[in-house]
Structure 1
Amino acid sequence: MQVTLVGPAHPYKGGGAHHTTELARRLAAQGHRVVLESWRAQYPALLYPGRQTVEQAEGEPFPATLRRMAWYRPDTWWAAGRRAAARGGLLAVAVLSPVQVPAYLVLLAAAGRRVRTAVVAHNVLPHEPRPGDRPLMRALLRRAGTVLVHSREQAALVRRLAPGADVRVADLPPHFPDAHAQGGLGPGPASARPEGSPHYLFFGLVRPYKGVDVLIRAFAKGAPPSARLTVAGEFWTDADAYRALAVELGVADRVDLREGYVPAGEVPRLLDAADVLVLPYRSATSTQNVRLAHERGLPVVATRAGAMAEQVRDGVDGLLCEPGDADDLARALATFAAPGRAEELRRGVRPADADTLWRAYTEELVGSREKVNGDG
């Protein structure tokens, strides 16, 4: 089948670009003819305060990638749709933010009725919504032949926004940067720290919905006095507010805030220096960080938000707690620090079966029922 896949790719950074690129590779490996239509300018800086691109690719770019679309050039959206129409087959757009929706609506209109359509919805609605998000996403979901989401919770949201939509659910498969960029995949070395002195780690974008403030409060309540916490990543809010919170709670000397994007090549060392990855999200759809930690043999403490409740086996390869609840997270941090618990959880960690997950994922996308653009 001919597939036109639209979404971020190198030089854009992060999980969205990695996922789009790996999806293109997996489809091509299955014998599909794939073209990846990407962006040369994806978001206005005002709407994406972090660093959008990287100079060095965090993996091998997909060969058949076009980087012609720009957020400020609607003619490039239309041209991408016309190219997809000329190819035929399936047109799938990857949505990470409603900011992309106007471009995708134009693109779908330009493609007309000559292609099947699918929306790969990483986030049906943003964690931090803005006026206009719902009507934009509703319009896109109603135009899609198929909507692929990463959790049952997200599927229910699609059905509320677009009743009658053909919604498919597939677990988000691993889409790590290439092994050479990661410094080699596979479990890292076991910690040499004394038992009861764990090093807790959070990494990724620091945004309000990620709950880093909840984590610092929980660390102050539940972590042993000899424990440490590292928060590494881009801060979309004022990092000084988190520092002030650590000072107020008396843990500033044990909390290390490392501001700035963590390049792919540094991720293994960051994980290997920790005993557990902590994901204190207030809300979530799915995250690649659980998979990445387990790939390195690291247990995960996470909230029961989105797909994390299914990716982390409570008491086996990690611990679960309630979202937004500093007391419950403090309990989980204290439980992890109990004698023998860290090693027990580390023994339970198993990397995900990437091939099986990707096969199921692509079957849901490409094997969707026949429905052309604009039907229904």
Structure 2
Amino acid sequence: MKIAIVGPAFPYKGGGAHHTTELAHRLAAAGHDVVIESWRAQYPSFLYPGQQTISEPEGEPFPGTRRRLDWRRPDGWWRTGRALRSHDLVVLAVLSPVQVPSYLGILGGLGRRTRAVALCHNVLPHERKPYDRPLMKALLRRVGGVLVHTEQQAALARQLTDRPVRAAEMPAHLPTPRVETDRPEGVRRRLLFFGIVRPYKGLDVLLRALAAGPEDVSLTVAGEFWGGLEETRALIAELGLTDRVELRPGYVPAADVPALFAAADALVLPYRSATASQNVWMAYEHGVPVIATRVGGFADQVRDGVDGLICEPDDPGSLADALKRFYAPGEPERLRSGVRPVDHEPVWAAYLEALTGPFTQSS
């Protein structure tokens, strides 16, 4: 099958770029003729406050990557779609409703004969704006099918379109293979919050739980702040956590990730809401248990009491209780011993089948 994936790839960073690239590699390995149509300018900077690109690839770039799309050139959107008319399948990787105008332009050039699938990382953003829903509705009604990563997201997509919607678990697309890092023996009494800091990820909830939890436990916060850095510092001071919280604002290169996980007893995911996340798989690749809230797919990824703990979302008391349970004598070691890297090959096989197979109304 001749397949084009439209989405971010190196030099763009982050989970979306990793997913697009890994998906292309997997499809090519399965025998398909694959190209990535990526961007030379994806978003205006005011819509993406974080660092957009990196200078060194984090993983193996896909050789069949073209970078012709530009948010400032609508004429290029239509031309790209017209150039893809000979393909059997065009996959639109949807990370944000901001992409919708360009994708509608591509679909306009593509015409009706080429099958197009919207691969939605999130059907709607966690933090929504008034234009998000109408934009996504316009896109999802123009494609031949929609692929999402949870049944909850599938139900949301079906509210916006009568096109076939299919759910498939998102497989791992980690930036680097597992790296063995020397880890000091014993319990570190340190937790890790990792990734972009946005309100829905609940860092404030974690800070309040930390203040109410074991008094000798510290926290490292490593990732880009999309606003709220000064407010976070003020909350840390207000809670008396200045000596216990280390802030490392800014993008974390893949080369620095192993040491962060080696220094932590657990990764904490205090999200208020979630769809699919790679952070659980990343923690397990590094042998680290996970403390997560009962949102999105976390309760399916984390085996409560085996390789991590599950608590309630947006509830500092529930999270504080989880921290106390985690640091009960012998528990950090026991939960760490339960962590196993996951075999993602079957998940990838099912994912590729879901994406490339025919979409029907019963999907």
Q: Which residue of the partner structure matches residue 158 of structure 1?
A: 157
Cα deviation digits, residues 273-315 of structure 1 (max 9, x gap):
1110001111111111111001111100011111112111111
Greater CA deviation, 38-47 or 107-116? 107-116
Mapped to 2, the partners of 1:6 and 1:129 lie a distance apart of 23
Cα deviation digits, residues 83-141 of structure 1 (max 9, x gap):
111x2200110000000001001111110023111011001001110111001001111
Q: Which residue of the partner structure matches residue 148 of structure 1?
A: 147
Cα deviation digits, residues 29-74 of structure 1 (max 9, x gap):
0000001000000011010011100011111110010000011110
Alpha-carbon deviation of 1:354?
Answer: 1.6
Q: Which residue of the partner structure matches residue 296 of structure 1?
A: 286
- 1:272-351 correspondence to structure 2 within 5 Å: 272-351=262-341
Alpha-carbon deviation of 1:189?
Answer: 4.9
Q: Which residue of the partner structure matches residue 63 of structure 1?
A: 63
Cα deviation digits, residues 215-267 of structure 1 (max 9, x gap):
10000011x22211000111111312111111111111101111110001111
Q: Which residue of the partner structure matches residue 182 of structure 1?
A: none
Q: Which amino acid aligns with 1:166?
A: P
Q: What's the TM-score, normalizing by structure 2?
A: 0.97
1:39–1:68 Cα contact (<8 Å) kept: yes
Q: Which residue of the partner structure matches residue 72 of structure 2?
A: 72
Mapped to 2, the partners of 1:178 and 1:247 lie a distance apart of 35
Mapped to 2, the partners of 1:18 and 1:147 lie a distance apart of 20
Q: Are positions 1:128 and 2:127 aligned together? A: yes
Alpha-carbon deviation of 1:190?
Answer: 5.1
Mapped to 1, the partners of 2:22 and 2:151 lie a distance apart of 23
Mapped to 1, the partners of 2:116 and 2:108 lie a distance apart of 11
Q: Which residue of the partner structure matches residue 217 of structure 1?
A: 208
Q: Which residue of the partner structure matches residue 191 of structure 2?
A: 200
Q: What's the TM-score, normalizing by structure 1?
A: 0.93
Cα deviation digits, residues 188-217 of structure 1 (max 9, x gap):
5555244xx621100100111111011100
Mapped to 2, the partners of 1:370 and 1:62 lie a distance apart of 30
Mapped to 2, the partners of 1:192 and 1:330 lie a distance apart of 25
1:317–1:345 Cα contact (<8 Å) kept: yes
- 1:1-376 correspondence to structure 2 within 5 Å: 1-85=1-85, 87-162=86-161, 164-179=162-177, 185=178, 188-189=181-182, 191-194=184-187, 198-222=189-213, 224-369=214-359
After superposition, the Cα gap between the structure-2 partners of 1:370 and 1:153, relative to the gap in structure 1 and judged at 3 Å, is: closer
Q: Which amino acid aligns with 1:108?
A: L
Mapped to 1, the partners of 2:142 and 2:334 lie a distance apart of 49
Q: Which amino acid aligns with 2:314?
A: G
Mapped to 2, the partners of 1:190 and 1:269 lie a distance apart of 9
Mapped to 1, the partners of 2:152 and 2:20 lie a distance apart of 22
After superposition, the Cα gap between the structure-2 partners of 1:187 and 1:151, relative to the gap in structure 1 and judged at 3 Å, is: farther
1:191–1:274 Cα contact (<8 Å) kept: no
Runs of 4+ that moved beyond 6 A:
none
2:127–2:200 Cα contact (<8 Å) kept: yes
Mapped to 2, the partners of 1:305 and 1:80 lie a distance apart of 38
Alpha-carbon deviation of 1:186?
Answer: 5.4
Mapped to 2, the partners of 1:298 and 1:178 lie a distance apart of 16
Q: Which amino acid aligns with 1:58?
A: E
Greater relative contact order (CA < 8 Å, ≥ 6 in sequence):
1
Greater CA deviation, 15-24 or 343-352? 343-352
Q: 5+ unaligned residues in a row in structure 2: which ranges?
A: none
Mapped to 1, the partners of 2:360 and 2:297 lie a distance apart of 28
Q: Which amino acid aligns with 1:230?
A: T
After superposition, the Cα gap between the structure-2 partners of 1:370 and 1:159, relative to the gap in structure 1 and judged at 3 Å, is: closer
Alpha-carbon deviation of 1:157?
Answer: 0.4
CA RMSD of aligned residues (A): 1.4
2:267–2:288 Cα contact (<8 Å) kept: yes
Alpha-carbon deviation of 1:368?
Answer: 2.7
Q: Which residue of the partner structure matches residue 374 of structure 1?
A: none
Q: How many residues align?
A: 361
Q: Which amino acid aligns with 2:72?
A: Y
Alpha-carbon deviation of 1:165?
Answer: 2.6
Q: Look up the SS of the partner of 1:21 in the other structure.
A: helix
